[in-house]
Amino acid sequence: MPTRNPTDLRRHRSITDRNLLIGFFVVLLIVGGGLIGLAYGGGAAVTGVICIGAAALLAGLVALLMFGIERLSQWLDQRE
């Protein structure tokens, strides 16, 4: 029977969370911008995509802050 390598579930969760967040914002930009464009026209779609992009940037900054706090916590745990 072959031996199995140990799994790193925290790393798997971290990668999955990152991919889901990126996918959410890509879908939000494409689908949201497309629906705005269909309903209100091209100028409104550009404005909508800019607003959605600004919100995505803010959410990305929050995600980076949380990632930094997680790294700091791991570093402090290893230091002791």
The answer for residues whose C-beta is within 8 angstroms of residue 29's C-beta and 6 or more apart is 49, 52, 53, 56
Quick one: pLDDT at residue 21?
Answer: 82
Burial class (CB in 10 A: 0-12, 13-18, 19+), 59: middle
**Digitized pLDDT (tens) for each residue of the chain, 80 residues in all:** 667 777 888 888 889 988 998 898 889 889 999 999 999 999 999 999 999 889 888 988 998 899 899 899 999 999 87
Q: How far apart are CA 40 and CA 32, in angstroms?
A: 12
Quick one: pLDDT at residue 45?
Answer: 93
Counting every residue written for the chain, the total comes to 80
